[in-house]
Structure 1
Amino acid sequence: MPAISDRDVVRALRPFVRATGPLLDTLRTAQLSALRDRSLERDADRRAVDRLWDQLAKVKAPGTAAWTAMGVAERDAWWLNRVGRLVSLLAALPGVGGALADRLPIQSALGAAGQGLVLSALAGEHGFGSVENRVRLLAFVLFQRTVDGRVVDASAEDRETAELTSELGQRSGLRGIGRTVWKLAKVLWALEDELDKRPQGRFYHQALGMLPVVGVVGDYFGERSALKRVQRAAYEWFATAGG
């Protein structure tokens, strides 16, 4: 099998990064919608609506007044904890199969997809909004590569991005989010030989992950631990990449 080139990495990461934008937007709106729907009855009067939005404004979630007042470190922590838990769980689910599942590249691809999603969120908070910069960041943290991030095949990239985000407008809530993360994982699956380079959990997480059924617990905490390493590597990149 031919070695994976920097060009191959960029070709996979560009539609991936572009798709993370709408996915992160969906996660933001889902957070507020869940809060609103739990509190607001169909026939509530205007005063109840006003009270609800006053309460929502105090919640530390993207799109609220409290979020605007938060510092970058606080926002980073929100993404790492709230979104990090979700993507860690999705990546850990194949771990029910223990050692057999650990040998399948889809688990590593799901983990890498979750890490890439969190990295895109962190990049936005630190002022790195362009696709090129986010591709460079993901290549550095996930695959230990230095790439330029520029377009490889514009028409193919547009088609792939549209396909990756197609579930978000058709399915509601976690189902659409989960299906989209799955699609993102399949994109990275094509880089199978590179997936072992991504930040991993500690050895005891991996050992527990080898066991059937309870392996999902080890894999979950392994992914959570790996996100701390993702954060450190991202901060290293932010410090040297420039604005």
Structure 2
Amino acid sequence: MGDAIPDRAIVAILRPFVRATRPVLDGLRESDPFGLRNRVTARDDGTLDERGLRDKILDALAAVEVPGTAAWAAMDTPARTRWWVRRVGRFTTVVAAVPGLGGALAKRLPVSSAVGAAAQGLLLVAIAGEHGVRDEDELVNLLGAVLFRRELAVAAATRAEDAEADARAAEITGGLGEPSTTPTLRRVAGVVWRLGRALLAVEDELDKRPHGNILHEGLSMLPVVGAAGKYLGEWSGLKKAARSAEKRLAERAG
């Protein structure tokens, strides 16, 4: 498809994507969005419980520092960006790696494509927020430039387009962000998968998003180590997306 896809079609996909990232990023910003700090890692008799991979991964996440602390307030924007790279990267890796978190979608969508694209989109919106950029049209432009390498002509949404974007975002979030909805790990993971599915509407365009290098690509094609190669490639792509976003946002500020 390439550049044959008109800008307005890309914008129509990115508007609800941007709106749907808000409850996910809010959940990731919170100090304990998934109740991880209350996880029990030892029994009363002092011996460790026998836990599986899922529990070990969640325990590791529980030890990660988050916004809201004095240390966070003292961090500069580049340091906060690095935090977001680690936070988003770790979270989406868990979403891809832990069986069941992706629900039915995880069985039908390619992990590296769906979760990788959603991770990069989430990261771009988060980094923009640290730079004080929250305007939807600017965020759509940022995603278009980094993910698709296109300078989109973003026009103000009409009333009908705005309503359609709201409806699509609500479908993606599935109620996450509502006052009565607790942002559990499974719910946030489901939104990440639906974000990935939304971007797959322009799957050919996603070939342009930041990827790993030729070594990662080669590893991903080998038996046994293929999964590691895909992970390293997505991790490398995530960092490249962050650098591209920071460069663009710095140029904007300048």
TMscore range, shorter length: 0.7 to 0.9
Q: 106, 112, 123: which is aligned to 2:117?
A: 112
Correspondence 1:132-211 to 2 at 5 A: 132-149=137-154, 150-151=156-157, 153-166=161-174, 168=176, 172-211=183-222
Counterpart Cα distance in 2 of 1:165 and 1:111: 18
Contact 1:206 1:219 in 2 (8 A): yes
CA contact (8 A) 1:30 1:173 kept: no
Q: How far apart are the structure 2 equivalents of 1:208 and 1:219?
A: 8
Please name the residue that 2:106 is paired with: none
Counting matched residue pairs gives 215
Q: Is residue 106–residue 189 contact of structure 1 (8 Å, CA) maintained in 2?
A: no
Structure with bigger helix share is 1
From 218, 223, 241, the equivalent of 2:234 is 223
Residue 80 (structure 2) pairs with residue 64 (structure 1)? no
- Long gaps (5+) in structure 1: 40-58, 95-103
Worse-superposed segment, 119-128 or 232-241: 232-241
Alpha-carbon deviations, 1:60-80, whole Å to 9, x = none?
Answer: 412233222221111111101
Q: Secondary structure at the match of 1:220?
A: helix
* Cα-to-partner distance string for 1:188-220 (whole Å, 9 max, x where unaligned): 010012010000001111111123453211111
Distance 1:212 1:68 in 2: 45
Counterpart Cα distance in 1 of 2:172 and 2:241: 23
Please give the alpha-carbon distance, in whole angstroms, between the structure 2 residues aligned to 1:110 and 1:36: 25
**Partner deviation per Cα, 1:65-117 (whole Å, 9 max, x = no partner):** 322222111111110112222224546789xxxxxxxxx76632321111000
| Counterpart position of 1:56 | none
Q: 1:172 to 1:20 in 2, by over 3 A?
A: closer
Whether the 8 Å contact between 1:92 and 1:219 is mirrored in structure 2 is no
- Gap change, CA 1:107 and 1:227, over 3 Å in 2: closer
CA contact (8 A) 2:34 2:183 kept: no
Q: What is the rounded CA distance, in whole Å, between the counterparts of 2:164 and 2:148 in structure 1?
A: 23
Provide the C-alpha distance between the structure 2 equivalents of 1:232 and 1:183, rounded to a whole number of angstroms.
25
What's the C-alpha RMSD, in Å, of the aligned pairs?
Answer: 2.7
The answer to whether 1:233 aligns with 2:244 is yes
- Inter-CA distance 172–108: structure 2 relative to 1 (3 Å threshold): same
Of the three residues 121, 130, 135, the one matched with 2:135 is 130
Change (3 A) 1:36 1:87: closer
- Tell me the TM-score normalized by structure 2: 0.75
TM-score (norm 1): 0.78
Q: Secondary structure at the match of 2:127?
A: helix
**CA separation in 1, counterparts of 2:32 and 2:248?**
29
Q: Which moved more, 1:169-178 or 1:193-202?
A: 169-178
Could you tell me how far 1:173 is from its partner in structure 2? 2.5
For residues 206 and 111 of structure 2, the distance between their equivalents in structure 1, rounded to whole angstroms, comes to: 10
Structure 2 vs 1, CA of residues 151 and 93 (structure 1 numbering), >3 Å: closer, same or farther?
farther
C-alpha distance in 2 between matches for 1:22 and 1:212: 38
